[in-house]
Structure 1
Amino acid sequence: MRPFPRLHLITDTRPGREPLAVVEAALGVAGEHLAVQVRVEDDATDREAYELAARVRALCAEARAICLVNDRLHVALAVGADGGHVGALDLPVDAARRVLGPYAILGATAREPATARAAVDAGASYLGVGPAYATRTKDGLPTPIGVEGVAAVARAVGVPVIAIAGVTAERIPELRAAGAHGVAVIGALSQAPDPVEATKALWDALR
């Protein structure tokens, strides 16, 4: 079985962003070592989500990278993605597992050990843990849990922990030392002047 990717890119579809260009840049650097999670804004239509996910899926397939879809699991199934990810307000993990089937990759969001263990027991393949640090990429996030919070979850479960929110290349060493398998980024690439160089910095810090 191939190693689970340490670098996860979440698409940024806010106005003025170029998600496909960023995905292409990141794939050009990390290739099969990258997981791309397609996430769209809440007001995006299913058709818009499908069209973006289909294009990302094609890019990932060419690079042998993993493609996941956030929240909209029917879109994940429709485009043949490798799996999906559910947050606290999305389908329960056990229900998401039934939708995707027993073999798909299923991520779940957690921020403390009890909910992390419950998510794994319900069928999560990996956990997105955070917010690790403060971030302005997404509104309405709870208080950051910090490196200590990431470490507490990592100690509680046996699946890969992917730290998210406010992640930079400079912060990766302390997150890895805390037990994080890898990191998920949005703004670190979507807002970077040069996404290729930004991906190189992240990937170098993870290796």
Structure 2
Amino acid sequence: MSPGVGRLHVVTDARTGRDALGVIARAVAAGAPVVQVRAKDGTDRALYELARRAVEICTPAGTTCIVDDRVDVALAAGAAGTHVGLEDLPVAAVRRIAGPGHLVGATVRDPERAAALVAEGADYLGVGPAYATETKAGLPAPLGPAAVGAVARAVGVPVVAIGGVTARQVPELLAAGAHGVAVVSAISEAADPAEATRELLRSLAGAR
């Protein structure tokens, strides 16, 4: 059985000059239940090393570590799951490669596609961008809470809102039907990533 889907996903910012592992360590120490290793640039070896070291930080704390895009790297590094986007391997292919015990997430924007991805074997869905964000280039227009909620109502798996999310916006996203949130800059660019993690966790707990 795949591990559970936590309500806060901390997505790494591995751009040049960023201390991705330092942020992971602080977020995990503060109680982050899920870390998603994302590095769009660099070599396969660099991504593997980042994922492997992230798994080493996450495992003792019981934090679920997921690798973005690359099921091969996730399996090689010993990560618990893989998250795939629209241009990555299909969910069904990832499921065949990784097996039933691997957590598989997928990015989606509309209810119809969401239902299809769940039928293929997705354990949870990332929906976004919920709000405007500059951490990833080429994104479509923000969806807003109502569209996130429409996806959540269409499927029976957890929906995690991503894109421009801050602690202040957590209550409206959960009220719309989101299970949780995934964040990049709200933690990676915070002066104190551990306190930013705790603030998001408090918002998630208070909005239940």
Tell me which interval the TM-score lies in, with the shorter structure as reference length.
Answer: over 0.9
Match of 2:57 among 56, 59, 65: 59
Tell me, yes or no, if structure 1 residue 170 matches structure 2 residue 168. yes
Which residues of 2 match residues 9-88 of structure 1 at below 5 A?
A: 9-31=10-32, 34-41=33-40, 43-88=41-86
CA distance in 2, matches of 1:81, 1:20: 15
Q: Counterpart in 1 of 2:105?
A: 107
Please tell me whether the aligned partners of residues 37 and 65 of structure 2 are also in contact (alpha carbons under 8 angstroms).
yes
How many residues get paired?
204
Q: Counterpart in 1 of 2:204?
A: 206
**Secondary structure of the corresponding residue to residue 84 of structure 1:** strand
Q: CA deviation at 1:197?
A: 1.4
Q: Counterpart in 2 of 1:146?
A: 144
Q: CA deviation at 1:3?
A: 4.6
Which residues of 2 match residues 91-106 of structure 1 at below 5 A?
A: 91-106=89-104
CA distance in 2, matches of 1:131, 1:16: 25
Supply the RMSD in Å over aligned alpha carbons.
1.1
Q: CA deviation at 1:188?
A: 0.6
Q: 1:152-205: CA deviations, max 9, x gaps?
A: 000000000000000000000000001100000001111111111111110100
Tell me, yes or no, if structure 1 residue 4 matches structure 2 residue 2. no
CA distance in 1, matches of 2:113, 2:100: 21
| Structure 1 gap segments, 5+ residues each | none
CA distance in 2, matches of 1:100, 1:141: 28
Q: Counterpart in 2 of 1:134?
A: 132
Please tell me whether the aligned partners of residues 7 and 160 of structure 2 are also in contact (alpha carbons under 8 angstroms).
yes
Please tell me whether the aligned partners of residues 159 and 179 of structure 2 are also in contact (alpha carbons under 8 angstroms).
yes
CA distance in 2, matches of 1:60, 1:113: 32
**TM-score, with normalisation over the residues of structure 2?**
0.95
> Structure 1: which 4+ aligned runs deviate by more than 4 Å?
none
**Secondary structure of the corresponding residue to residue 22 of structure 1:** helix
CA distance in 1, matches of 2:122, 2:70: 16
Q: Percent identity?
A: 57
**TM-score, with normalisation over the residues of structure 1?**
0.96
CA distance in 1, matches of 2:79, 2:17: 26
Q: CA deviation at 1:93?
A: 1.0
Q: CA deviation at 1:4?
A: 2.5
| Structure 2 gap segments, 5+ residues each | none
CA distance in 1, matches of 2:194, 2:98: 32
Q: 1:92-135: CA deviations, max 9, x gaps?
A: 11111111112210000011101100100000000000110000
Q: CA deviation at 1:7?
A: 0.4
**Secondary structure of the corresponding residue to residue 142 of structure 2:** coil
CA distance in 1, matches of 2:20, 2:204: 22
Q: Counterpart in 2 of 1:193?
A: 191
